[in-house]
Structure 1
Amino acid sequence: MSASLIGVIDFETTGISSAGGDRATEVAIVLTERGRVVDRFQSLMNGGVPVNSFVTQLTGITNAMVRAAPPAAEVMREAARFVGDAPLVAHNAGFDQRFWRSELAHAGVPAPHPFACTVLLSRRLYPEAPAHKLGVLADWLGLPRSGRAHRALADAEVTAELLARLRHDLMQRHRLPEPDHALLQTLQRCQKAQLPRVLQSLATADT
């Protein structure tokens, strides 16, 4: 698998706590290479936990849809094969990383994939944005959107657009070399006050 591949992932779930028994109801992964989408994976899944009315209203995913979906373990094994060893990116990555690890553990599959977070990156690169929710950033940056918000593939597609814009701005505005996943992780860990110095040092190191 190409070292430049990055998977952009989004889950829909029955709730916010994988440790508390919530399960994923849908997963989508958009595979990107140097900012360009090269493949997609999406599936509903049945983890055996009912969907409450709030989640159905938010996502449109019903109990009937989940009951008809393939078993979660089957979907996650397929998702792991699709990702391979590519690193992952998500918007509010802590949430998706917890469900990625939890659902793969249910399926008996290791989850070594590092995550980068477009919420943290956007807070550092776009502090002037009115908010850093995915829909707000998409509108503020003029990113294309398709599909219903709070469905996994639609949100993964928008997150992939946001990632491409972040990488573009790092290269064009900050004169960085093409940002790989490790560099994104470095930047998201920076304190905001330190970011200009870090960006300058990275740009200087490449000259």
Structure 2
Amino acid sequence: MSQADTVIVLDFETTGLSPDYGDRAIEIGAVKIQNGMVIDRFQALMNPGRRVSGFIENYTGITNAMLKTAAPCEEVMQQFANFISDYNLVAHNASFDKRFLDAELANISRSYSGQFSCSMLMARRIYQQAPNHKLSSLVRYTNIQSAGEFHRALYDAEMTAKFWLIMLADMQQTYNLGSIPFLLTQRLAKTPKQKVQSLLSSWA
């Protein structure tokens, strides 16, 4: 089984686009994949200490009333830091989630040792003919069954995990790869599209 199967797939919902401008996390969802199967889940709303905008309420379905009774970010992130342990991490548009993970863990003086890989950047190389590389579009493109609402953290993490496993399987079949080390997924995300075939063929 591919080493890249053993990962934490995570997703944040937030008050805005960047912690550099004071934005905070309001929900974290994650699933642990081991040997190609989801074996554990983590989901929690978190109170950022201030009201969120009407746009964020409408976009995520997470209301100020829901956040009012949620545990503070600091408490939730202590639990989440324990959940991710030293596993490698996957997210769709990972640069976004990594910024919030780094910022929220810095607030509580916690860190992590795992590396990140981005399913969106990989998808741009593996599924170059897809209409676009939004998570919802890729779920449809790869015929993944879905019945929930996007833009809630656990659901997005679940869909990303399903897509991740399908993408790894497609890579193994197309390029006759016996296994896919996590390093390869990271390298692939940085490879120019026209050199993807050469990289994966040489890795077999």
Deviation at 1:146, TM superposition (A): 3.4
The reply to whether residue 181 of structure 1 matches residue 182 of structure 2 is yes
**Conserved 8 A contact 1:144-1:161:** no
Q: Secondary structure at the match of 2:18?
A: coil
C-alpha displacement of 1:147: 2.2
- Cα distance change of structure 1 residues 29 and 115 upon mapping to structure 2, 3 Å threshold: same
| TM alignment of 1:119-130, pairs within 5 A | 119-130=120-131
**Structure 1 stretches (4+) deviating beyond 4 angstroms?**
none
Cα drift, residue 177 of structure 1: 2.4
The alpha-carbon deviation at position 148 of structure 1 amounts to 1.4
Letter of the structure 2 residue corresponding to residue 87 of structure 1: N
Per-residue deviation, residues 32-67 of structure 1 (Å, max 9, x unmatched): 013211110000001213210001001110111111
What residue number does 1:141 align with? 142
Give the RMSD, CA atoms, in angstroms. 1.4
State the match for 2:154 in structure 1: 153
How far apart are the structure 2 equivalents of 1:177 and 1:19? 41
**Any idea what the Cα deviations from partners look like across 1:150-204, whole Å, max 9, x if unmatched?**
000000000001100111011111111221322110111111111111111101x
The alpha carbon displacement at 1:4 in A equals 5.6
Equivalent residues in 2 for 1:20-35, closer than 5 Å: 20-35=21-36
Q: How many residues align?
A: 202
Q: What is the one-letter code of the residue matched to 1:92?
A: N
Aligned counterpart, 2:48: 47
Q: Identify which of structures 1 and 2 has the higher relative contact order when contacts are C-alpha pairs closer than 8 Å and 6+ apart.
A: 2
Question: How far apart are residue 144 of structure 1 and its match?
Answer: 2.0
Cα–Cα, structure 1 residues 40 and 149, in superposed 2: closer, same or farther, change >3 Å?
same
- Using the aligned pairs only, state the percent identity: 43
Q: If the length of structure 1 is used for normalisation, what is the TM-score?
A: 0.94
Deviations 1:64-116 (A, max 9, x none): 11111011111111111111100100000000000010111112211333110
Deviates more, 1:43-52 or 1:116-125: 43-52
Equivalent residue runs for 1:18-167 within 5 Å: 18-167=19-168
Q: Give the unaligned 5+ runs of structure 2.
A: none
Rate the CA distance shift 1:181–1:3 in 2: closer, same or farther, 3 A: closer
| Residue identity in the other structure for 1:120 | L
Aligned partners of 1:167 and 1:178 also within 8 Å: no
Long gaps (5+) in structure 1: none
- SS in structure 1 of the partner of residue 21 of structure 2: coil
Give secondary structure in 1 for the equivalent of 2:99.
Answer: helix
